[in-house]
Structure 1
């Protein structure tokens, strides 16, 4: 069998034009599939940026909330009820809202303002400049240094701005786990300052962040909050809910799926057609092997080896090319949202296996039907 596979390898690589065409088709398909799915994974990751950056174990919210960016304010009694629930170590309010700030040069920029609990500052970001205690100073705000930081004219400690006719001062610059999705800078301040500076409805609590005593009490806490008419989700459950919203209730999921299927069809058509041409051009060689005693399973093994070898190389080249392109894009475009995950790579590998299976089927049918008599007669 080793000799048969060596012959299959030489048949494959000797025709460099056909071999290159096969590699290009599969590489291009894998490249597009990985790029599309990675872009979608990046969008989903950034859509959950608030959940990832705050880091709370349990999030209490209105059941109608679909994304962290679109909160529905809750009355104050909900916070008191949550704090009195058995199994809750502590619970704090979180304000999340949009505002317009006036920069020092007179331009306006929309921002997202996160109001942290005044007593604990639970969910505060990691500071790279300044001290978190300075957030208690008058008019104090912390600016997140992410891909949208430049839209605030790269502020420094002590930079002033206006927010709804109120003076604001940058007392800290922070880093977070994930940048936001919608291209809006993020400011952190205290809860009381946020609700006093920014116009809002009579209810101001966007979310309630809960720290349970242990994991065993989480189902009970969720049940009690459900009885109040609200919803308590773990951070993973909230991220899944946000992901489901973008997958099934917006056009993002269906558009990415269509582009991925188009990439798969292009790769399948190119590789299938090229491999079929390769089989036709080498049909006399397969017939000669069959005439000198090669069995059908050995010929099938040759074809499977040729297709598998080509698909694996094409898969590696496609993933490598996509990784390089994403890395370069992130260096040049900080707001570019793409993230390669094991799920993306596994999905692309399955698509390659399907391409290999279809291409192998085309070749196997043709080779098994040949008769040595017909080859030598021609």
Structure 2
């Protein structure tokens, strides 16, 4: 029976190759769509995963890692004094505009302490980290070199009205759904984020009271602003997160409660909790997961149609052979096993080159575009299972055809 299954498959080689192409398409579409979804959600939390913090302290109004509200720097100083806190460091996140060769690129500025221990932007050298202590210096992800029009270390550009010198490159930092990332020191980040804003104090006298309003206004990015060394952070300077290292032997959950009760308006997360919160937001509160999942379903349906058509045609053209088998005493299950084995061969021979193609595409996109198509052993096994179900399910239509075969067909002209 095994030789008959292979013989039927290879009897019409062009048709067999068309079937395998259809299965490869389905495998590739499902693998790439699920791989992009996994790679996309993973990319949104790369910076969290690479940190050494036990606890992340954020605003109580946080939505996801990049969508939250700042609080004053004095909260970092207060956090350091809480019992059970071994180390507290600030992380600030803001937006800006990058100007290079007359071209504009939007960006996300991440400010951290280059001499700290709890935040490290992906894979980067210690030398590059220490270089951030210089005024107006920054790191970028290597995949963003072309977008920022940067050829190498030492190149200059401008963020809003202030200069920036690239002192190094990082890897595995960029989120697929964000503006381009730039990493610098806290003082540099504070200068870049507030650059281009002017303030004015307006006071009015009425009913014996004086009312004053401090209004901030954005200036045009002329690039002609006077450049002075960035100022150190003060108690009112805005920061986005406090990264906390718990003292040895300290219960992290109890420390979280202690921090929230001591710092009003804050919410605490462990590393895994913040990762889950952020990934859940992008998967469930946006349409990205639905769109990619829909593409995978379309791939499976296309594969099923192609395989069902090929198997049905193969059975129709070999009805006389199946009738001969029945006339010789073969059971229905013997006949079914031939068709099922055909479908399994098609699944395996379509899956392997399809997966290899996806791996090649994923390697290329990660190296050239910074887009990760994440194919894990679990997802690869899952796609193989889907492929087998798709092919075996398609065989059902062919089995229905052969079930009605009359052994007497052998004796018909």
TM class by shorter-chain length?
A: 0.7 to 0.9
Contact 1:163 1:197 in 2 (8 A): yes
More moved, 213-222 vs 39-48 = 213-222
Partner of 1:193: 188
For residue 142 of structure 2, give the secondary structure of its aligned residue in structure 1.
coil
Contact 1:18 1:278 in 2 (8 A): no
After superposition, the Cα gap between the structure-2 partners of 1:361 and 1:64, relative to the gap in structure 1 and judged at 3 Å, is farther
Partner of 2:393: 358
The question of 1:334 aligning with 2:369 is answered yes
Partner of 2:227: none
User: Of the candidates 341, 347, 352, which is equivalent to residue 382 of structure 2?
Assistant: 347
Contact 2:114 2:129 in 1 (8 A): no
Contact 2:112 2:185 in 1 (8 A): yes
CA distance in 1, matches of 2:384, 2:358: 14
After superposition, the Cα gap between the structure-2 partners of 1:247 and 1:144, relative to the gap in structure 1 and judged at 3 Å, is same
Q: Give deviations 1:65-117, integer Å, cap 9, x for gaps.
A: 333222311244543454344443212110111122444x4544333222113
CA distance in 1, matches of 2:130, 2:27: 50
What root-mean-square deviation, in Å, do the aligned CA atoms of Structure 1 and Structure 2 show? 2.9
CA distance in 1, matches of 2:409, 2:103: 81
More moved, 352-361 vs 75-84 = 75-84
The question of 1:17 aligning with 2:17 is answered no
Aligned-residue offset at 1:8? 2.0
The question of 1:222 aligning with 2:256 is answered yes
CA distance in 2, matches of 1:118, 1:318: 45
Contact 1:73 1:203 in 2 (8 A): no
Partner of 1:144: 140
Determine which structure has the larger strand proportion and give its number: 2
CA distance in 2, matches of 1:164, 1:258: 41
Contact 1:144 1:173 in 2 (8 A): yes
Task: Give aligned pairs, total.
Answer: 371
Partner of 2:243: 209
Aligned-residue offset at 1:363? 2.6
CA distance in 2, matches of 1:5, 1:301: 9
Contact 1:60 1:209 in 2 (8 A): yes
CA distance in 1, matches of 2:50, 2:170: 9
After superposition, the Cα gap between the structure-2 partners of 1:272 and 1:82, relative to the gap in structure 1 and judged at 3 Å, is farther
Contact 1:26 1:311 in 2 (8 A): yes
Aligned-residue offset at 1:262? 1.1
CA distance in 2, matches of 1:97, 1:214: 33
CA distance in 2, matches of 1:149, 1:42: 21
The question of 1:371 aligning with 2:406 is answered yes
Structure with the greater alpha carbon radius of gyration: 2
Contact 2:43 2:175 in 1 (8 A): yes
Aligned-residue offset at 1:121? 5.9
CA distance in 1, matches of 2:178, 2:75: 32
The question of 1:324 aligning with 2:398 is answered no
Partner of 1:299: 335
Contact 1:53 1:177 in 2 (8 A): no
Q: Give deviations 1:134-189, integer Å, cap 9, x for gaps.
A: 3333x14232242112333325444444434344444x203232323257443322
Q: Give deviations 1:330-349, integer Å, cap 9, x for gaps.
A: 45x42434222334323322
Contact 2:9 2:342 in 1 (8 A): yes
Contact 1:56 1:211 in 2 (8 A): yes
4+ residue segments displaced more than 6 Å? none
Contact 1:135 1:142 in 2 (8 A): yes
